[in-house]
């Protein structure tokens, strides 16, 4: 397959994703005026020492669960709401223990760890909800829940394990 055609097919976005992206973007513009940064298909909202990223994604399920999805009219899309808590954090047994225990006990969402190319860890707080049936109040509540929790967690994690919060980065800013 020619490279252009392959790239074009890979970058295609379904009508459900486009519809959900339009809705989420409109809601965010109404709910968080002046605090938005929009890059490609991601909406970023600054809050205190953290930066919340809002992104619409397709629900990808295997064929067995896909049949269940069709039978019960389950969502086609979801909204991922996340915030990097700390980056450039040294990997330690205590950090892994915190992620496996306390990082999974949060009221809304959970933490994830990614290993950076230099071997340091990056911790992210993530929450997801259906985009198909989303209303403005639900999105506002979810974004604020992630923002407030991440703002507290990033301070605690930096003090306990080291690393940099969003605001510690050269481009960090707040504004919600």
Mean pLDDT of 127-136: 92
What pLDDT shows up at residue 69? Answer: 67
Helical residues (DSSP H) of the chain, grouped into ranges: 3-10, 15-31, 63-71, 93-100, 136-161
With contact defined as beta carbons under 8 Å apart, do 139 and 20 qualify? no
| pLDDT tens digit sequence for 15-53 | 888 999 999 999 998 998 877 778 778 999 999 999 999
Confidence bin at 12 (pLDDT 50/70/90) = low
How many angstroms separate the CA atoms of 172 and 12, rounded?
A: 32
Two tokens, residue 91: 């990997």
How many angstroms separate the CA atoms of 152 and 168, rounded?
A: 15
What pLDDT shows up at residue 62? Answer: 65
Two tokens, residue 130: 């259906």
How many angstroms separate the CA atoms of 128 and 79, rounded?
A: 5
What pLDDT shows up at residue 119? Answer: 92
What separation, in Å, do the N-terminal and C-terminal C-alpha atoms of the chain show? Answer: 46
What pLDDT shows up at residue 9? Answer: 40
Which carries the bigger pLDDT value, residue 70 or residue 24? 24
């Amino acid at each position: 397959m020619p490279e252009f055609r392959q790239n074009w097919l890979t970058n295609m976005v379904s009508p459900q994703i486009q519809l959900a992206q339009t809705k989420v973007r409109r809601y965010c513009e109404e709910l968080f005026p002046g605090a938005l940064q929009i890059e490609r298909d991601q909406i970023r909202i600054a809050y205190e020492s953290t930066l919340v990223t809002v992104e619409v994604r397709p629900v990808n399920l295997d064929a067995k669960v896909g049949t269940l999805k069709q039978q019960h009219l389950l969502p086609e899309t979801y909204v991922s709401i996340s915030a990097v808590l700390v980056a450039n954090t040294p990997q330690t047994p205590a950090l892994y223990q915190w992620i496996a225990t306390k990082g999974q006990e949060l009221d809304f969402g959970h933490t994830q760890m990614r290993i950076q190319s230099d071997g340091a860890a990056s911790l992210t707080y993530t929450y997801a909800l259906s985009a198909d049936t989303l209303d403005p109040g639900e999105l506002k509540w979810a974004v604020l829940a992630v923002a407030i929790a991440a703002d507290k967690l990033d301070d605690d994690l930096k003090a306990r394990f080291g690393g940099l919060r969003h605001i510690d980065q050269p481009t960090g800013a707040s504004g919600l």
